[in-house]
Amino acid sequence: MSLTRLEKILLVLVLVLVVIIVYQNFYPYLTSRHGAKETPVHAPERGKEREQAYTIMTYWEGEMFQLLNQTAQEYAKINGIKVKVVLVPYDEFFSKLYSSYNIGAAPDLFIAPHYYVRELVENGVADAIDPLPEEIAESFRKAGTLGGKTYCIPVTVDSPILLVRRDLEDSLPKSIEEIVKVNNTSNDRLILAFDVTNSYLVSGWFNALGASFLDTDCKKTYVGGGTYVFEILQKFSENMPRSGDYIQMVEKGDAIATIITTSRLRSIQDMVKFDILEIPVIKGQKVTPYSTLECIFLSTTAKDGSQELAKYVAERVAEKLVNIGVIVAWSNAYTNKDEAYYKAYLVALNSEPLPPCKESVKVLIEMSECLRNMKEQGWSVEPAVVECEKHIKDLLKG
């Protein structure tokens, strides 16, 4: 019996339908038995995401930028992804960071000083990250902590330290009181030469006596309790050069020691001449100067996998930065425990991160202005203390 044309078409359609049903029901079973992998349903979408470049925004320049980019590309090569490191000048950095969110082009990661953490979190820019590894000391971890959550991974650390001529170190008194006494009576050389108007450098003495410039909530100042420190600084001013290269003074032997920040170490050509020590005690109290940490922040719009990228880059770039004289927050980055850089790291461990708000820097500037007026305009201690406290309180009121 011959089939009509219509019947033939219907028969073909039935056969095709049977093949489709068999394929759908038995193909996964057959492929699993032979070791083939089933293609995930969303594979095309994930593939598209992997082709998109992860972005890291930074204001680092020169060697630091090069090492950051080098580290990011290492991770990209290992994981088969693309990573783009974008350099934005510091004076434009935060305006461009915020505007990037408005136009849907925010970076996955960005580098910023730790004291911006409150503003970044409140503006919905920074996201919380997992607990930090043990290689980062507790004193540095808290720099990026807010409300019990961690928002950034510390990389670099900057803090005041004592730079000493190694061959003259034995003649250095242990307390600031002894030092100022010898400074003002010696006709030979100064014991300690430094910028007495730099509030960041002298912050440790204020903190040691409970007279911090700003509390951790960024609402109060206790500088009014720092009269004793003001008196010490005024005595230093009597026999201190008005300005100058204090590192060079120590290098030439015109002074035994100076107070600098760890970021200045990169500019010293011959570190063999120097040793790094803690800043001398005041009233027998250990000094805890302020510190500033540069951290990698995770964006609230970051792609999946950005946190792993952040951790890799933070640790590996820290290892590279030590080689160019940058002090970092990672203990495992220091392979030579005898180097001055490692000693600087140990001193920085005793520092106190600036309170987590951008007002911290404004308070430092205001405090430096007060100290400058006391030195250059001859203010007596009591009026200087009152004036400093008033200006900082006015600043905090906004």
pLDDT digits (tens, 9 = 90+) for 279-295: 999 999 999 999 999 99
- Dihedral, CA of residue 55, residue 58, residue 63 and residue 68, to nearest 10: -40
Same domain, 326 and 215: no
Q: Give Cα 392 distance to the centre of its chain.
A: 25
Q: Report the amino acid identity of residue 338.
A: D
Report pLDDT for 376. 85
Domains held by the chain: number: 2
Q: Is residue 362 part of a domain?
A: yes
Report pLDDT for 369. 95
Report pLDDT for 25. 45
**Domain range spanning residue 172?**
160-288+358-397
Q: Terminus-to-terminus CA distance in the chain, angstroms?
A: 99
Q: Residue 223 has which token pair? A: 């500088």
The answer to whether the beta carbons of residues 109 and 56 sit under 8 Å apart is yes
Confidence (pTM): 0.84
Strands 145-146 and 126-127: unpaired
Cβ neighbors of 199 (< 8 A, separation 6 or more) are 213, 364, 365, 367, 368, 371
For residue 106, give the CATH number of its domain.
3.40.190.10
Same domain, 389 and 280: yes
Report pLDDT for 11. 53
Q: Is residue 119 part of a domain?
A: yes
Give me the phi and psi of 280, to 5 degrees please. -55, 145
Consecutive 10-residue averages of pLDDT for the chain (398 residues):
52 49 40 34 36 91 98 97 97 96 96 96 95 91 92 97 94 94 81 95 98 95 96 89 84 94 91 94 97 98 96 97 96 89 96 94 96 88 93 91
Same domain, 167 and 248: yes
